[in-house]
Structure 1
Amino acid sequence: MKYTLDRHEKYVLIILEEKKLNSLISPKLKSEMILINTEGIRNIILDLSHVLYSDSSGLSSLLVGHRLCKNSAGSFIISGLSESVERLIQISQLQDVLSITQSVEEAIDLLFMEEIERDLNRSEE
């Protein structure tokens, strides 16, 4: 699996540099996200702008990322969806479950907004 990891203080950006997110790539992506999460990183941005095709195993890896981040009180944001991947997410009715942005910059903004919101909620408790 070809990808780039860009580590920041509050999040990790994974840029998947593959044309297909299928049963060959999906297990490796899941493993990488699990490793990142066990390191204590709770916010992951996944850039899929290189991905032109995904199958059900690819969707499964997105749901694993979502669950990992949610269970650690973090955010999992997907950006740069191609038309076919976006259509698959809509057919699967996951557009309301997954956080999706057009660009990495929007994903970073959304992530920081969610972090501020979580901090405010914690301070009110």
Structure 2
Amino acid sequence: MKYKIKEQKNVSVINLEGNIMGGPDALLLNELLHGLVKEGKKKIVLDMSAVKLMNSSGLGMLIAALTTVRHASGNLKLAGVSKKIENLFIITKLINVFEQYKTVKQAVDSY
């Protein structure tokens, strides 16, 4: 998994690319989010439009990310989730846990 961070309207947008499969990626995302929260950045959007695959460990990674941000009184929203990954959210009943938007712009504007 690769990532890039950019700021839009006081929102940190993290563009994720590749596969989200947990393991070392989970540690990387966790450290990244802790760093953002420590800097006072509590409005976060994960742009998942370039994510190809995700497994159950990847889902756990996203849940941990959401928990980290919410414990800091922030919020994390998802954008650009593919149909395949959205089906994974539906099957696991996590569809109602994450705020999801079709585009990054919609997610950013929702703040």
TM-score, length-scaled by structure 2: 0.88
The Cα offsets for residues 59-108 of structure 1, whole Å up to 9 and x where unpaired, read as 11211221122222222100111122111111111111111111001101
Q: Flag structure 2 segments of 5+ consecutive residues without an equivalent.
A: none
| Matched positions, count | 110
SS at the partner of 1:57? helix
**Residues 42 and 98 of structure 1, relative CA distance in 2, 3 Å threshold:** same
Q: Give the ranges of 4+ consecutive aligned residues of structure 1 lying more than 4 Å apart after TM superposition.
A: none
Between structure 1 and structure 2, the one with the greater Rg is 1
1:120 match: none
Give the helix-richer structure, 1 or 2: 1
Q: Offset at 1:7?
A: 2.6
RMSD: 1.6
1:23 aligns with 2:29: no
**Residues 104 and 37 of structure 1, relative CA distance in 2, 3 Å threshold:** same
Q: Offset at 1:9?
A: 5.9
Q: How does 1:1-125 map to 2 (within 5 A)?
A: 1-8=1-8, 10-18=10-18, 20-24=19-23, 25-111=25-111
Structure number with higher relative contact order (C-alpha < 8 Å, ≥ 6 residues apart): 2
The Cα offsets for residues 38-73 of structure 1, whole Å up to 9 and x where unpaired, read as 222111100000012101121112112211222222
Give the strand-richer structure, 1 or 2: 2
1:122 match: none
Contact 2:33 2:69 in 1 (8 A): no
Query: Residues of 2 paired with 1:58 and 1:107: CA distance?
Result: 21
| Letter in structure 1 aligned against 2:21 | N
SS at the partner of 1:93? coil
Query: Residues of 2 paired with 1:82 and 1:68: CA distance?
Result: 24
SS at the partner of 2:105? helix
Q: Flag structure 1 segments of 5+ consecutive residues without an equivalent.
A: 112-125
